[in-house]
Each structure stands twice: as structure tokens, then as C-alpha cells.
């Protein structure tokens, strides 16, 4: 199985990656709080500064805009403190959206809110048949869908993914509860490669990743502990937590431009830049389809 070299992320003649314009969906953390614990990062007894969370989120949104990306917003809903983590709201590929079914009841009402927004925005929305937490566990790379399991998204959801999107699905098993979603342990850099923390995956999944991405950037434990892999790449610019200095240097060595943002307040709920960002992938144009052949 090979990955096609799509326009997005294809190297320039000097070998450096090229960016592509993206369309993102975000949700302002108006009601952000840590009121329950559904992952190891969350401590309901700790202090949370909602105003700081909003400022950090606004900085992230401005970074995307400064890079030329389109940012759309979904209205936050009172009583849903984790709705800021838009990546968990759906998976959107080729103009189709697979709605989510959360494992934990505290987040259940986020699912219809995101599905309704996507339907009104013109996406073809498919109902979830099994527990899946959107781009938290489902990450497109080239023609493939990398699909995490082990803590949140069920393995049964992977077969449904393939039916909805018509793309090969690669199952990756997560084994460290700190990295409970795939997007906390792996970042898609472009259509050909990724960065990831090997120890977050089962031995078999590590072998699959080595085979698929022999030139992957391997993250360190220290960078993963600050959710450095919860990053967003447009093929050249990688927006990642400012504290992930080692990963940032490794990415620059590979020709990527890195932009560090402080998401420390949102990290108290287990989130970073990627958690706050759902990629809205429209149907490819005829020109784009021809370019990938």
C-alpha cells in the first residue's frame, strides 16, 4: 500500500514542504471548565482560568488566520465545557462528515450540535453506528485513514469509516492512557509522513507505523507530555504547543516552519491545538483529482 503524493505537502524543488490553504471549524471556550475527569489530564479540584483559556484559543485562531486559513465557528452550548475540542465533533473527508458517538455521557450532547452545524454547512452527514470521537482518533494521511482505538473509539467503528469514506483504514492501538486519543500521540505532517511517539502504541502498531512512514519524525516522551503531538500542519507550517521545544527543533530540521502557541490552560482538560481544530475537507475539485493521479 502506498501513499500518493498530493499537491498539499508536496516538496518544492529545494525539498522543503509546501503549505495548502485549509478550512477549520473551531468553538470558542466560553463555557470551558474542568468539572469531571474522563482522561488522566483532568482534575476537577484544580484551578481553571476560563478567561485565560479564551485568550489562548483566540491566539490559536489568529495564527490560523495569519497563515491564510479560513476559520469558521460553531456556537458554544452552555453546560458543554469540552465543546471547545472541535476535533472530536466529527470526521470530515471529501465533503462527507461522519458524526460522532462519545464514550462518556458528559460529552454526548456535543454530537448533535456538531452534526447539525455540518448539515447546515452543506456536508453529507452520516450517523455514527459505533463509539467514535471524530478526528481525535481518525486522521487522514494521503489516501489512508489512520484510526486509533484502545481507549475511546471502538474498533468496530473502523469498518464503518471505510464504508462512509471509501478509503483504506489502518487500525492503530493506543496503550498509554495519557495518550487516549490518536491525535495526542501522532500528528499528520503532510500527505506522506507523520510525527509520533512510538511508546504510545502497541508493538504491532509500531511496526505498521515504521512500515508506512519510514521517515517519520519520532517525538520524545518530554514533548509528548506537553501534548506536543497535538499539533496542526498545513503541509509546511506546524502549529504546536510552545512547550514542545524538542519536537519543534526536529520539525525545523526537516524543513517545516513551526509556530508555538501556549495552550496550557486548555491542556488541563487534555487538549491542545489539534483538539481545538476540526478540518473541513470539501470534495476535491477536478483539478485536484488530476493532480493526485
Catalytic pick among 27, 187, 275, 276:
275
Active site residue 181: yes
263 φ/ψ angles, rounded to the nearest 5 degrees: -120, 30
- What single string gives the DSSP state of each residue in 187-242? EE-SSS-EEE-GGGB-HHHHHHHHHH-TTPEEPPHHHHHTTTTS-EESSSEEEEET
Q: Is 139 helix (H, G, I), strand (E, B) or coil?
A: strand
- Please list, in sequence order, all residues whose beta carbon lies within 8 angstroms of the beta carbon of residue 108, skipping any fewer than 6 positions away: 102
- Which residue stretches of 6-148 are H helix? 50-66, 110-120
- Cα Rg, the chain, nearest whole Å: 17
Say how far apart CA 94 and CA 238 lie, in whole Å.
Answer: 23
Q: How far is CA 290 from CA 151, 258, 284, 285, in A?
A: 38, 30, 10, 9
Max distance between CA atoms of the chain, in angstroms, equals: 54
Which are the contacts of 173, defined by CB distance < 8 A and separation ≥ 6?
148, 149, 150, 201, 202, 204, 205
Q: What is the spatial order of strands in the sheet that 186-188 belongs to?
A: 186-188, 194-196, 217-218
CA 223 to chain CA mean position, Å: 17
DSSP code at position 101:
B
Q: How far apart are CA 68 and CA 74, in angstroms?
A: 20
Q: Of residues 27, 181, 187, 237, which has the active-site annotation?
A: 181
The residues annotated with a catalytic role in the active site are 181, 275
Amino acid at each position: 500500500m502506498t501513499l500518493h503524493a498530493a499537491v498539499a505537502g508536496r516538496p518544492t524543488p529545494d525539498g522543503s514542504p509546501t503549505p495548502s490553504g485549509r478550512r477549520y471549524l473551531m468553538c470558542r471556550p466560553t463555557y470551558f471548565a474542568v468539572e469531571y475527569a474522563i482522561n488522566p489530564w483532568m482534575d476537577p479540584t484544580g484551578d481553571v482560568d476560563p478567561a485565560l483559556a479564551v485568550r489562548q484559543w483566540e491566539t490559536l485562531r489568529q495564527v490560523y488566520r495569519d497563515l491564510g486559513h479560513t476559520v469558521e465557528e460553531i456556537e458554544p452550548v452552555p453546560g458543554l465545557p469540552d465543546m471547545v475540542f472541535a476535533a472530536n465533533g466529527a470526521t470530515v473527508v471529501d465533503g462527507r462528515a461522519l458524526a460522532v458517538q462519545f464514550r462518556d455521557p458528559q460529552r454526548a450532547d456535543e454530537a448533535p450540535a456538531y452534526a447539525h452545524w455540518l448539515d447546515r454547512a452543506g456536508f453529507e452527514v452520516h450517523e455514527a453506528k459505533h463509539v467514535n470521537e471524530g478526528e481525535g482518533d481518525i486522521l487522514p494521511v494521503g489516501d489512508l485513514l489512520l484510526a486509533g482505538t484502545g481507549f475511546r473509539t471502538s474498533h468496530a467503528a473502523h469498518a464503518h469509516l471505510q464504508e462512509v469514506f471509501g478509503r483504506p483504514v489502518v487500525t492503530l492501538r493506543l496503550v498509554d492512557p495519557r495518550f487516549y486519543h490518536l491525535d495526542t500521540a501522532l500528528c499528520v505532517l503532510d500527505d506522506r509522513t507523520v510525527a509520533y511517539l512510538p511508546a504510545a502504541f502497541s508493538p504491532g502498531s509500531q511496526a505498521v507505523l515504521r512500515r508506512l512512514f519510514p521517515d517519520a519524525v519520532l517525538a520524545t516522551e518530554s514533548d509528548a507530555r506537553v501534548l506536543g503531538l497535538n499539533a496542526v500542519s498545513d503541509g509546511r507550517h506546524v502549529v504546536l504547543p510552545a512547550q514542545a521545544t524538542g519536537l519543534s527543533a526536529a520539525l525545523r530540521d526537516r524543513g517545516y516552519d513551526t509556530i508555538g502557541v501556549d495552550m496550557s490552560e486548555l491542556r488541563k482538560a487534555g487538549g491542545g491545538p489539534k483538539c481545538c481544530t476540526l478540518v473541513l475537507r470539501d470534495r476535491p475539485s477536478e483539478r485536484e483529482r488530476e493532480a493526485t493521479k
